[in-house]
Amino acid sequence: MKYQAIIFDLDGVICFTDEYHYLAWKQMADSLGVYFDREINNRLRGVSRMASLEIVLERYSGPALSDERKVELATMKNDIYRESLAQMSPADLSDEVRDTLNGLRERGLKLAIGSSSKNTPFILGQLGLGSFFDAVSDGNNITRSKPDPEVFLKAAEMLGLEPSVCLVVEDAVSGAEAGHAGGFDVACVGDAARAGSGDYNMQSVAELLDITAG
């Protein structure tokens, strides 16, 4: 097989928490009287929490915010978001994703997560995938967010593999850019697939079974 491992982005690929993110950012923005909509929210996908905050604050026109206040605002958003995540369960993992993961594992492929989210371990636990993946690289062990390739390079390092034999799976254009910047082939779904950002642009993750067929 061309690939020995698959490195998955989490949100938008394995699960979908976009609505939770949107509602949490909106509540935080509303507390400042800052306009926020779904188009702005879409710009935050794959971006670190503090960098996302700066995007949200582009329309802020109040008194200058200290670094400490910005941390408070980012924490407020994350607390609201985590309250929503507590509602998640293994039922939120679609049959298609579960069957695809199991099918790839049966072929002997190593499976990893490469996500900018610091909530990755919590989300995986809620989905019943806490110990499923061979490696998890996330916002807790990186210093640079996508489109920097650090999160994927660390995942490959954890697996003991070179990027050339790992396939990254992404739904965000910035994530696809990160994969390519790290020397990985990239399979895309969602927005990134519609933008033609991948080496493989898929309708669903189930197509990974065909891509890795041999």
Catalytic residue among 9, 148, 171, 191: 9
Catalytic residue among 11, 138, 148, 191: 11
For the question of residue 11 being annotated catalytic, the response is yes
Kindly tell me the burial class for residue 112, based on how many C-beta atoms sit within 10 Å of its own C-beta (0-12, 13-18, 19 or more): buried
Report the alpha-carbon angle 46-211-163, nearest 5.
Answer: 55
For the question of residue 92 being annotated catalytic, the response is no
CA 102 – CA 114 distance, rounded (Å): 18
- Of the chain, the end-to-end C-alpha distance in Å amounts to 5
- Catalytic positions: 9, 11
